[in-house]
Amino acid sequence: MTTKTPLILVTNDDGILAPGLAALVDVVRHLGDIIVVAPDSPQSGKGHAITIDVPLRLNKVDAFGEIEAYECSGTPVDCVKLAMNVIKKDRDFDLCVSGINHGSNEAINIIYSGTMSAAMEASLEGVHSVGFSLLDYSFDANFEPAKPFIKSICQYMLANNARKTRLLNVNIPTGSIEGMKVCRQGEARWVEEFREAKDPRGKDYYWLTGKFEITDDDPQADVNALRAGFISIVPSKHDLTDYTDIDALKPLEKQNGIHKV
Amino acid sequence: MTTKTPLILVTNDDGILAPGLAALVDVVRHLGDIIVVAPDSPQSGKGHAITIDVPLRLNKVDAFGEIEAYECSGTPVDCVKLAMNVIKKDRDFDLCVSGINHGSNEAINIIYSGTMSAAMEASLEGVHSVGFSLLDYSFDANFEPAKPFIKSICQYMLANNARKTRLLNVNIPTGSIEGMKVCRQGEARWVEEFREAKDPRGKDYYWLTGKFEITDDDPQADVNALRAGFISIVPSKHDLTDYTDIDALKPLEKQNGIHKV
């Protein structure tokens, strides 16, 4: 039985200076060898974007004492790709943790989230990954109550070699925490509004804003576990196939372009 | 029985000037009332990114004759949000088509793809949506052979009111087309490489490049249907929950932060 020190990648989407990143480094720093690679500017809402049309910059920074840390000019997904293919190309990561995000990534937010996209990118490369998000968007959010739970989840991920690569979407409520609950991704939507105005030159502009609306009353949905005071843990995956619709679509196979343009 | 003219949103990620967009407009222009909203610059690889930190611009353009068309300064997802919440906020779309993308969005490419993210965004709002991609990255790709099949799929989507909102990821091979096949998302990965070099000032930069590697031999996988000359149709969804892992993770619920930080 070998007891190799695990190699842990820490990243986020709020950027290298975000207090949520420092809180996450603080939790995992004694669980293994740590490498931090985070964007050099906030990248919220960047989803699974990658940078292909401009080159990327990567700078070593002294942000966390003796811990090896880098800032990158790209997206959260770029950070993970650089960590794996440039910084540590000769060694495999045992765990990737992303966050702690300042704000919720529950429900459909997972697809807009740079935090979760970074975690998913690592999982695509076979690394167990967790994205952590606190339901508080403020810069000075209090991450302390979440720390023991996050440590517990990281220790579980390091100790349990699952049959396949795991990707967890973990959201943490504010206020008193009742415990942890394994959930499914809840149904919710953003009711969008654009603030319309004119710039100083009289030209129209539109600024995205919106209200998060929960449309799910299942207690197993992450949205409802969170509102009951639980940390929600949603096992997630990158296969977006809707298997329930494959048979229904079979008639399409017979059409083979018989309708002329 | 009402025979309302359907309202169809056309978008893409290669931008308003891409020939693939013109080809898609050409296919659907007689299927309903058409609105085109596309990015004002190429947005490949932008995934489900949204623009929240700067305002968006939206300009009416004369790109497709009498068809109402707009260019937007944001991402493909922004285009769909603006179409639904600003341009046509008083009328529901019956179909959203995105593409025709210059290049593949098969397999895992779906999560990096602006084309598919635009389609998914429309589906989140209850609009049946299809992303179309041709396996040819060149600007002067030949979209003609694909057109009858795309028309057939659009007619099917308009004629069949599915039990729930449909989102299809359609990829089209180059060369002779054998027919259409309903598939699942295949397993594949990008073997990444970063081209490392120094800029004119002697500072390192990294430019993302990579090789697409198929790791799936199931004929029902989109990757293999495409290589057999079929158009692949993958019904897709936004619920990323891995339901098969929920029970296995239950032990986490009992841990409730008992490990002290």
Contact across the interface for B194 and A86, Cβ inside 8 Å = yes
Of residues A172 and A89, which shows the higher confidence score? A172
- The alpha carbon of residue B61 is apart from the nearest alpha carbon of chain A, in Å, by 15
- What range does the domain containing A100 cover? 7-186+217-240
Please give the Cα distance from A114 to A101 (Å, whole number). Answer: 9
Contact across the interface for B192 and A52, Cβ inside 8 Å = no
Contact across the interface for B44 and A52, Cβ inside 8 Å = yes
Which of helix, strand or coil describes residue B136? coil
Is B198 among the domain residues? no
pLDDT at position B258 is 44
Please give the Cα distance from B37 to B116 (Å, whole number). Answer: 15
- The average pLDDT across A27-37 equals 97
Taking contacts as CB-CB distances below 8 angstroms, the residues of chain A near B152 are 252, 255-259
Taking contacts as CB-CB distances below 8 angstroms, the residues of chain A near B197 are 55
Contact across the interface for B57 and A205, Cβ inside 8 Å = yes
Contact across the interface for B239 and A184, Cβ inside 8 Å = yes
pLDDT tier for residue B47 given thresholds of 50, 70 and 90: confident
- The alpha carbon of residue B2 is apart from the nearest alpha carbon of chain A, in Å, by 23
Place of tokens 């950070």: A79
- The average pLDDT across A212-216 equals 95
Closest CA to A136 of A184, A177, A175, A182: A175
Is B127 among the domain residues? yes
CB A166 within 8 A of CB A129: yes
pLDDT tier for residue B1 given thresholds of 50, 70 and 90: very low
Which of helix, strand or coil describes residue B239? coil
Is B210 among the domain residues? no
A78-128 per-position pLDDT tens digit: 999 999 999 988 889 999 999 999 999 999 999 999 999 999 999 999 999
B153-196 per-position pLDDT tens digit: 999 999 987 678 999 999 999 999 999 999 999 999 999 889 99
Taking contacts as CB-CB distances below 8 angstroms, the residues of chain B near A239 are 184-185
> Which residue is closest to B206 within chain A, CA to CA?
A56
CATH of the domain at A78: 3.40.1210.10
| pTM (2 d.p.) | 0.93
Is B208 among the domain residues? no
> Which residue is closest to B124 within chain A, CA to CA?
A189
- The average pLDDT across A147-174 equals 92
Is A178 among the domain residues? yes
Is A71 among the domain residues? yes
> Which residue is closest to A50 within chain B, CA to CA?
B45
Is B192 among the domain residues? no
pLDDT at position A130 is 98
pLDDT tier for residue A259 given thresholds of 50, 70 and 90: very low
Please give the Cα distance from A131 to A117 (Å, whole number). Answer: 9
B127-140 per-position pLDDT tens digit: 999 999 999 999 99
pLDDT tier for residue B259 given thresholds of 50, 70 and 90: very low
A2-26 per-position pLDDT tens digit: 568 999 999 999 999 999 999 999 9
Prediction ipTM score: 0.91
pLDDT at position A21 is 98
Domain total of chain A:
1
Is A30 among the domain residues? yes
